[in-house]
Chain A
Amino acid sequence: MNLYQEHILEHYHNPKNWGRLEHPTHQSIVKNQSCGDALSMDLALQGEIVKDIAWEGVGCAISLASASLLSEQVQDKSRDELLALTPEYILGLLELPLSPGRLKCGILSLEALHTALHSKD
């Protein structure tokens, strides 16, 4: 199956919610050591609810598209709801069956989100 489908390339070339927040309440930086991918994520929470998100990163098309797709799903969701998200959820967003070799690229965004949500723990 072709990994580089239109929706993936669209998010890769025009990532959503790209950048930094002025007043983040939660932040993370995560890296995939084996391929050099790195994502930084800013969240603004009101109480338990995510109100805003921004992220930046370097990496392959799969990891960047995944972060862009995920960033569209988090607004107005609760912390617990987001902490319950699984790698399978991300694969659903990507609409791709990733090989074990590329799975880490696909789910780096989820690691960034969860690390940020835990950053005040």
Chain B
Amino acid sequence: MKHEFPIFKKYQELIYLDSAATALKPAIVLEAEQRYGKEFGTNAARGLYPLAEKTSQAVEEARKAVAKFLHGEKENVIFTAGTTAGINMLARSLEATLSDSEGEIIVSLDAHHSQILPWQELAKRKNLRLHQVPLKSDGLLDTQAFVALLNPDTKVLALTLVSNVYGIIQDLTPLIQKVRALCPEIFIIVDAAQAVAHIPIDVTQLDADALVFSGHKLYGPTGVGVCYLTQKWQERLEPSQFGGGMVLDTESTPLEWKSGPEKFEAGTLPLAQIFGLQAAIALLTSIGFSSTRKHEQELLTYATQKLLAAFGKHITFLGGLNSENKIGLLSFTLAGVHPHDIASLLGEKNICVRAGEHCASFLHRALALPATTRISFGMYTTKEDIDVFVSGLEEAYKTLARS
């Protein structure tokens, strides 16, 4: 698979185990971005000449491809700049629907900063209460804890499909079904940033009001993302960004917005990146999730066993050892050795791992862990990569472990 990813031509010794931060880009994605510039080049949804219409049509094709990928409707696919942009946009749009000091927001504690801070800020602006719900000790979602907090005042429920620290695929459906029955008007937003490259997502079956992700985590370009937003909430929410392409009538009072995704897509879209995203989705679809899942689970089991054999009781894994319910991601601590030292020493050997809080400081504080080391896999990761990583880690441990 590595030959499909040009970065490995430039850095032949690269052992890249940080795909959860961003996945490397395959040649077909880079070519698709170039194709926009070389063969399209025009803006979308504006010009009336054929080349502009061709670009508009290509964007709608990409929208259709995203909808199919998510098992949803094309009209619900809003292009954004990424997960963070999508969540911030929704938090701003929801603000207009909320009254001061009336309401609560519930957030799961395994969220990364972009699924917590926008809600924390919204709660501050509107003087709302914000609850952060811890996970169970095995890293699984505590449905009961969420349900216990629900009340008629709950306005927003912000969930994470896969945490970037645990890598556990959470079964959100039972919780969402219960919430729907108890609080039909609540806004449910699912952060799928870490899930989207690893498991099939069915937005219709999931039944959230919004689902967000970034292109770059699924082998696509940076600077593009998707906010899948149901018709009901597209109609209910006011846009939070204003500009070209989203207004219907500038003379009406109040202003009349376009309907559909355009209402939330002010300004020129990241067109080259949308082309790249579509190519990434086509690649993942052609390989198939059953095949990528199998590959990741094999790597996860292999890495876990090798690490246990090398470090025994000195290594602690976050979120347990069950590879069945995880994406290809493993966070751990090694007794007596600081994650930053591990990452620096491995970095000197061209082995890329993540060390720190992984933009999930709330979770780390709750676990009383200052930092962890994380490895995460992509479709290009091999068992040989794991071998090099484990021997590099053994060497680092010898250098750093204090008796």
Tell me the A residues contacting B by CB distance below 8 Å. 2-4, 9, 12-13, 34-37, 58-62, 102, 105
A109 to B369: give the CA distance in the assembly, Å: 22
Are A4 and B357 touching (Cβ within 8 A)?
no
Asked if B232 CB lies within 8 Å of chain A CBs, one says no
Are A61 and B348 touching (Cβ within 8 A)?
no
In the bound complex, residues from chain B placing their C-beta under 8 Å from that of A58 are: 370
Are A35 and B344 touching (Cβ within 8 A)?
no
Are B340 and A4 touching (Cβ within 8 A)?
no
Are A35 and B340 touching (Cβ within 8 A)?
yes
Asked if B123 CB lies within 8 Å of chain A CBs, one says no
Asked if B92 CB lies within 8 Å of chain A CBs, one says no
14 more CB-based (< 8 A) A-B contacts, given A9-B399, A35-B338, A35-B357:
A3-B345, A4-B348, A4-B399, A4-B400, A13-B402, A34-B361, A35-B339, A36-B370, A37-B370, A60-B338, A60-B340, A60-B341, A61-B341, A62-B340
- Knowing A9-B399, A59-B338, A61-B338, say if A4 contacts B344 (CB, 8 Å): yes
Are A35 and B399 touching (Cβ within 8 A)?
no
Considering only CB atoms, which chain B residue lies closest to A36 in the complex? B370
CB distance from A51 to the nearest CB of B (A): 29
- Fill in one digit per residue for B369-400: 1 if any A CB lies within 8 Å of its CB, else 0: 11100000000000000000000000000011
In the bound complex, residues from chain B placing their C-beta under 8 Å from that of A34 are: 356-357, 361
CB distance from A7 to the nearest CB of B (A): 14
In the bound complex, residues from chain A placing their C-beta under 8 Å from that of B339 are: 35
Considering only CB atoms, which chain B residue lies closest to A59 in the complex? B338
Are A105 and B340 touching (Cβ within 8 A)?
yes
- Knowing A60-B341, A61-B338, say if A2 contacts B402 (CB, 8 Å): no
Considering only CB atoms, which chain B residue lies closest to A31 in the complex? B370
Most buried by B among A2, A36, A59, A62: A36
In the bound complex, residues from chain B placing their C-beta under 8 Å from that of A36 are: 369-371
Considering only CB atoms, which chain B residue lies closest to A61 in the complex? B341
- The 10 lowest CB-CB distance pairs between A and B, nearest first, are A36-B370, A60-B338, A60-B340, A60-B341, A61-B341, A35-B371, A36-B371, A3-B344, A35-B340, A2-B348
Tell me the B residues contacting A by CB distance below 8 Å. 338-341, 344-345, 348, 356-357, 361, 369-371, 399-400, 402
A3 to B356: give the CA distance in the assembly, Å: 18
Q: Pick the residue among A2, A13, A35, A61 that contacts B356 (CB under 8 A).
A: A35
Q: List 12 A-B contacts (CB under 8 A).
A: A3-B344, A3-B345, A4-B400, A34-B357, A35-B340, A58-B370, A59-B338, A60-B341, A60-B344, A62-B344, A102-B340, A105-B340
CB distance from A81 to the nearest CB of B (A): 31
In the bound complex, residues from chain B placing their C-beta under 8 Å from that of A60 are: 338, 340-341, 344
CB distance from A28 to the nearest CB of B (A): 19
CB distance from A2 to the nearest CB of B (A): 6
Considering only CB atoms, which chain A residue lies closest to B340 in the complex? A60
In the bound complex, residues from chain A placing their C-beta under 8 Å from that of B340 are: 35, 60, 62, 102, 105
Most buried by B among A2, A3, A61: A61
Are B400 and A61 touching (Cβ within 8 A)?
yes
CB distance from A32 to the nearest CB of B (A): 9
In the bound complex, residues from chain A placing their C-beta under 8 Å from that of B344 are: 3-4, 60, 62, 102
Considering only CB atoms, which chain A residue lies closest to B345 in the complex? A4
A35 to B369: give the CA distance in the assembly, Å: 9
CB distance from A96 to the nearest CB of B (A): 11
CB distance from A62 to the nearest CB of B (A): 7
CB distance from B396 to the nearest CB of A (A): 9
A61 to B397: give the CA distance in the assembly, Å: 12
A62 to B341: give the CA distance in the assembly, Å: 8
CB distance from A79 to the nearest CB of B (A): 31
CB distance from B288 to the nearest CB of A (A): 38
In the bound complex, residues from chain A placing their C-beta under 8 Å from that of B357 are: 34-35
A91 to B36: give the CA distance in the assembly, Å: 47
A12 to B356: give the CA distance in the assembly, Å: 20
A3 to B400: give the CA distance in the assembly, Å: 12
A61 to B348: give the CA distance in the assembly, Å: 15
Considering only CB atoms, which chain A residue lies closest to B402 in the complex? A13
A12 to B340: give the CA distance in the assembly, Å: 14
CB distance from B393 to the nearest CB of A (A): 14
A35 to B370: give the CA distance in the assembly, Å: 6
